[in-house]
Amino acid sequence: MNSDYLVGKVIGNRYEIVEKIGSGGMATVYKAKCHVLNRYVALKVLKDSLKFDPEVVKKFNTESRAAARLSHPNIVQVYDVGESGELDYIVMEFVDGITLKEYIQNKGRLSWSKACDFAAQIGRALDCAHANNIVHRDIKPHNVLMARDGMLKVADFGIAQATSSETLVAGSGGMGSVHYISPEQARGGFTNERSDIYSLGVVLYEMLTGEVPFDGANPVAIAITKLEQDPKDLRIINPEIPDRVAEIVMKAISKEQHLRYQSAAAMVSDLEAVIGTVHAVSEEIEDRFETKRINEQQTKEEYAMRRNTRNKKRQQIKRNRLIVLAVLAALVIGILTFSFMSGGAQEYQVPDLTNMTLEEAEATLEAAELRLNEKIEYEPSDEVEEGRVIKQNPGFNQYVKKNRKITVTLSSAGEGADLKIPDVENLKYEDAKKRLEVQGFKCELVEEFSETIQYGYVIRQSPKAGEDAEKGDTVKVYVSAEEETPEVEQAVVPKVTGHTESEARSLIAAAGLMVGEVETQESESVEGTVIAQTPSAKTGVEKGSKVNIVVSRGMSTPTPTPPQTPVAEMKRKTLTITIPDDANETVHIKVVANGKTIHDKTHAKSEGTVDIVVQSSKDASVQAYIDGKLVVDRVISFD
């Protein structure tokens, strides 16, 4: 079945396709009726162009099953993941509404209070997913559905990860994604929960202004702009946006991961706080514009005071401008002096890693185009939580060359004291090994097949996370391995046509094969000679496969005509039938002459042509069929 044309079909003996409601670079979405639970669902079917890529199909199923574990009012619920024939599909909650992208296009821009409310709903969905170790990686208004009651629901959790490498190249779909992905995604760097927070910040920016912060002629241009430039201040586009709301947006879309919100919950908390000020502000505005009796003398005095205040403000602005120009001039001179003293080489500022976990420090350094030294030092501390950075070398605010390795010292319980085993389940093996080794443990790999955990990822660990251990202890990590496929020994079919049946049997056995069906047919070849074989010679097959042969039984002796009965003189002509190149390995040939079947046998494609003798005392009307298809229909003249 074609994944783009399923309306009217029943999938999995359960889901009747009602209508097509959407299509993207990876899947086609249908509205379907579930006949078991008598409800409407959304059926997302993997595109035909991707179903032959085993890696994509594997990720599609694995990540979708992971997403099915999520349960939250702001997340589209995944009910089932299945396969029907050649179709891979996901059954999801059907949301009767439109996408957030369509809503923004209809409205142009939203009020700041509604935009913050929508962003908070998306943030709560992300917080639920991140708590379950699922990162969306493709948050955009196209993937957010709006129900008729205004409730937002985020879709495609886990699905985006299956094709994350295609976000910049999948036609118009990629063009949409690149506006919202984080800078680290654009340059192929480390992504985590804060990458989703960046995308949410871009969505909030668009809801408030009707524009995306970065745009360009093509995905590459957009990505470069995102890496090199700062977004336009959204208050210039929409002056009605409160300063606090603008601060939330700019923090969320910071280029540096460590400067963004460290969790979706923290961003939601700020959004809820600013939403809570709406009613208070409204009451204050009403009081401010309450109708009052105006005293004329008081009005003149207030006008004079406002004029003096404006003059003072203008003078202060002029002074501020001069101060700013002086500071900028000094800064430029300092930068030029520093560049001259350092030989003109570009250097990078070392960020502050204090109190960060090892993973946070590594991500922060990567964003600053620096690297973490693989050799981790440990030092006991009563002030810093175990496993977090106490100090670093080079230190904060120093300038170093690109890709310089920064050495960090982590807080520990002291040499020889008990440590806690870190959690490495569901991580890639390479990441799990690194996390264990940098915290002073040895890593032992045990491969194990799993139907649910993606290949190369940790299924479980022993000892378990959180257990006490000493530095140098060994942690076994059980990693999902590829299912072993037994090697099949191959053989080449020998040519046995032209040999006697006995010789043919010997040749077939010598090749490690077996003799299958043996048929006999009338033929002009010497009796006992093999005239056809299946499979044909030189075909590669599994060892132990069967080879079918057809053996000639010669020509039958015609019954002599009694001499006393005069008969018409019989004449013979040969009809040659050519077997088509695209025919199967064996074909059935039937020949009818003057309404009588004169040949009805199976032949091997390797014969190429078959000669049929037609006998008649007069012209013969001959029809020939190959596998039931008429290939010859003509009159053979015997004059």
List, as one string, the DSSP characters of 225-262.
Answer: HHHHSPPPPHHHH-TTS-HHHHHHHHHHT-SSGGGS-S
Q: Which domain covers residue 519, as residue numbers?
A: 490-552
Confidence bin at 4 (pLDDT 50/70/90): low
pLDDT above 60 (res 342) = no
Tokens of 578: 């050519």
| pLDDT at residue 419, as a whole number | 75
Identify any residues that bridge with 401 across adjacent strands, giving them in sequence order.
Answer: 347
Query: Would residue 519 count as lying in a domain?
Result: yes
Last residue of a domain, one of 387, 412, 437: 412
- 3-state SS, residue 102: helix
Query: Would residue 149 count as lying in a domain?
Result: yes
Using alpha carbons, list the distances in angstroms from residue 69 to 48, 62, 132, 242, 625.
27, 12, 8, 38, 59
| pLDDT at residue 56, as a whole number | 75
Query: Would residue 176 count as lying in a domain?
Result: yes
Q: Is there a single domain that holds both residue 133 and residue 257?
A: yes
pLDDT (mean) for 198-226:
88
Query: If you search the block for the tokens 């401010």, which residue do you land on?
Result: 288
Tokens of 8: 């009217």
Most confidently predicted of 20-29, 310-319, 373-382, 614-623: 614-623
pLDDT in tens, 152-179: 999 887 554 543 333 332 233 333 478 8
Task: Tell me: cis bond preceding 558? Omega within 30 of 0 counts.
Answer: no
Q: Is there a single domain that holds both residue 137 and residue 79?
A: no
Q: Is there a single domain that holds both residue 308 and residue 355?
A: no
The string of DSSP codes covering 515-561 is: EEEEEEE--SSPTTBEEEEESPTT-EEETT-EEEEEEE--PPPPPPP
Residues annotated as catalytic (active site), given as ranges: 138
Query: Would residue 455 count as lying in a domain?
Result: yes
pLDDT (mean) for 336-355:
62
| pLDDT at residue 158, as a whole number | 55
Confidence bin at 574 (pLDDT 50/70/90): confident
Query: Would residue 563 count as lying in a domain?
Result: no
pLDDT above 90 (res 515) = yes
Identify any residues that bridge with 44 across adjacent strands, giving them in sequence order.
Answer: 29, 90
Tokens of 118: 């929508």
The CATH number of whichever domain residue 250 belongs to comes to 1.10.510.10
pLDDT in tens, 531-564: 999 999 888 889 999 999 999 988 766 656 566 5
Taking residue 541's Cβ as centre, other Cβ atoms within 10 Å add up to: 17
Distance CA 343, CA 332 (A): 16
Q: Is there a single domain that holds both residue 326 and residue 311?
A: yes
Q: Is there a single domain that holds both residue 133 and residue 35?
A: no
| pLDDT at residue 496, as a whole number | 93
The overall average pLDDT reported for the chain is 81
Q: Is there a single domain that holds both residue 430 and residue 507?
A: no
Query: Would residue 293 count as lying in a domain?
Result: no
pLDDT above 90 (res 513) = yes
Q: Is there a single domain that holds both residue 471 and residue 512?
A: no
Taking residue 592's Cβ as centre, other Cβ atoms within 10 Å add up to: 17
Q: With the C-alpha atoms ordered 104, 105, 106, 110, is the resulting torsion angle positive or negative?
A: positive
Using alpha carbons, list the distances in angstroms from residue 122 to 154, 195, 476.
7, 14, 38
pLDDT in tens, 402-436: 888 999 888 875 444 457 888 889 888 988 888 88
Q: Is there a single domain that holds both residue 501 and residue 474?
A: no
Q: Is there a single domain that holds both residue 210 and residue 140?
A: yes
- 3-state SS, residue 355: coil
The CATH number of whichever domain residue 624 belongs to comes to 2.60.40.2560
Kind plus residue range of the DSSP H or E element containing 115:
helix 112-131
Angle, CA 465 vertex, CA 431 and CA 367 arms, to 5°: 35
Last residue of a domain, one of 59, 93, 127: 93
Q: Is there a single domain that holds both residue 167 and residue 43?
A: no
Q: Is there a single domain that holds both residue 102 and residue 151?
A: yes
pLDDT in tens, 478-497: 999 876 656 678 899 999 99
The total domain count for the chain is 7
Identify any residues that bridge with 578 across adjacent strands, giving them in sequence order.
Answer: 609
Confidence bin at 619 (pLDDT 50/70/90): confident
Pairing of strands 620-626, 629-636: antiparallel
pLDDT above 50 (res 464) = yes
Q: With the C-alpha atoms ordered 341, 343, 348, 350, is the resulting torsion angle positive or negative?
A: negative
Query: Would residue 336 count as lying in a domain?
Result: yes
Q: Is there a single domain that holds both residue 59 and residue 73?
A: yes
The CATH number of whichever domain residue 363 belongs to comes to 3.30.10.20
pLDDT (mean) for 187-196:
82
Query: Would residue 266 count as lying in a domain?
Result: yes
The CATH number of whichever domain residue 67 belongs to comes to 3.30.200.20
